[in-house]
Amino acid sequence: MRINWSCSHTVDSTWLQVMQNVADATEIVCGLSSLLIGLQICGDEEIRVLNRNFRNLDRATDVLSFPLIQYGPGKMLPDHPEYLKSVYDDEEGLYCLGDVIISADHVRQQALEYGHPEEREAAYLLVHAICHLMGYDHMNETEKKKMRMMEEKILESVGMGQSGETSTITDETLMELARRAMEHSYSPYSRFRVGAALLSTDGRIFQGCNVENASLGITCCAERTALFKAVSEGARSFSAIAIASVGTAPWPCGVCRHALYEFAPDLRVIVTWDQQKAEMSLKELLPHGFGPDELARGQKGTDR
């Protein structure tokens, strides 16, 4: 899902990553693609003004959503994708669902009250708002139940459901995120498209694709694109990577195996191509790897 961000409050980049992850998961769970939303992260003062202007309620709130689609009674997007036609943006090639406003002050406060991480609260509020943009509501018990079920299904798919600590993103979602990353592959020279989705142990998911260059040797593989994105956002520990391609099993190249080994020697490596799937551990793919532990052992006792 494309998010047009606008942040008037400084927030941790983890929030943005986790929010992007749940937005992408929403598309997958609902069987939709090419959706666009506007997302503004502001403070209590700003959301109070918007609440007053648009809803006549002169108080701050956690989240506001402004759907562009007028749904008929009881109609929601996953079952009625025909509604998307009315909000197709020719220039962008995307379906614009509407805008979401989230108060960072409320996110922080509510995270404290519920005793969970701030990014989890931010992600929950975004999923709630996107459900509104898809036609869900909570005016009566039946509607409310349907909305809660959809919210939970989306959060569960990225390991953020109510079952809590023990749950993790499903392999299917991770593979689908890799397939979707493959769509961005820049591979005019090899015409071999690769996408990757790397799961960090704090629950964030980083996507990457291969990025080629007219100077062929400086091409970056999908796996390293994802890894470098992750490390540069502060993630250092990873549990799984899904890699997608077409026509053949995209086992990572030697350079990528080594790059991943530095941070996660026990990584699960899942490859998917056409309708197929296979899995191996990084240790199987790179036996006797050379990592920080091996380096430290060799350095022991040397003084030069």
What part of residues 99-138 is at the interface with ligand THU (CB under 6 A)?
Answer: none
Stretch that binds ligand THU, among 7-15, 27-35, 188-196, 267-275 (CB under 6 A): 188-196
Torsion of CA 180, 183, 189, 192, to 10 degrees: 40
> At closest approach, how far in Å is the CB of 25 from ligand THU?
23
Residue with Cβ nearer ligand THU (71 or 192): 192
- Asked if 167 interacts with ligand THU (CB under 6 A), we say no
Please report whether residue 23 would count as binding ligand THU according to CB under 6 A.
Answer: no
Size of the site for ligand THU (CB under 6 A): 13
| In the complex, minimum distance from the CB of residue 219 to ligand THU, in angstroms, rounded to a whole number | 5
User: If you write DSSP's letter for every residue of the chain in order, what string do you get?
Assistant: -EEEEEESS---HHHHHHHHHHHHHHHHHHT--SEEEEEEEE-HHHHHHHHHHHHS--S--SEEEEESS-PPTT--GGG-GGGGGGGEETTTTEEEEEEEEEEHHHHHHHHHHHTS-HHHHHHHHHHHHHHHHTT---SSHHHHHHHHHHHHHHHHHBT-STTGGG--B-HHHHHHHHHHHHTT-B-TTT----EEEEEETTS-EEEEE-B--SSGGG-B-HHHHHHHHHHHTT---EEEEEEEESSS--PPPHHHHHHHHTT-TT-EEEEEETTEEEEEEHHHHSTT---HHHHHHHHTT---
State the minimum distance, in angstroms, from the CB of residue 208 to ligand THU: 8
121 φ, ψ to 5°? -65, -45
Q: Which of 27, 119, 121, 223 is catalytic?
A: 223
Closest CA to 21 of 201, 190, 221, 203: 203
Q: Which of 84, 219, 265, 291 binds ligand THU (CB under 6 A)?
A: 219
Q: Toward ligand THU, which CB reaches closer, 163 or 281?
A: 281
Which range in 64-72, 156-164, 184-192, 290-298 contacts ligand THU by CB under 6 A? 184-192
Q: Which amino acid is at 37?
A: I
- 22 counts as binding ligand THU under rule CB under 6 A: no
Determine if 285 is a binding residue for ligand THU (CB under 6 A).
no
Query: Which CB, 1 or 194, lies closer to ligand THU?
Result: 194
Note if 223 is an active site residue.
yes
From the list 32-40, 101-109, 190-198, 296-304, the region that binds ligand THU by CB under 6 A is 190-198
Whichever of 106 and 180 has its CB closer to ligand THU, that residue is 180
Spatial distance between the Cα atoms of 114 and 117, rounded to a whole number of angstroms: 9
Contact assessment for residue 171 and residue 242, using Cβ atoms and an 8 Å cutoff: yes
Contact yes or no for 107/121 (Cβ under 8 A) = yes
Interaction of residue 280 with ligand THU, rule CB under 6 A: no
Q: Which of residues 243-262 bind ligand THU (CB under 6 A)?
A: 252-253, 256
Shortest spacing between CB 251 and ligand THU, in angstroms:
7
Q: Which of 44, 99, 121, 223 binds ligand THU (CB under 6 A)?
A: 223
Residues of span 44-103 touching ligand THU by CB under 6 A = none
When binding is defined by CB under 6 A, the residue of 160, 221, 227, 269 that contacts ligand THU is 221
- List residues near ligand THU by CB under 6 A: 187, 190, 192, 194, 210, 212, 219, 221-223, 252-253, 256
User: Where in the sequence numbering do the catalytic residues fall?
Assistant: 223
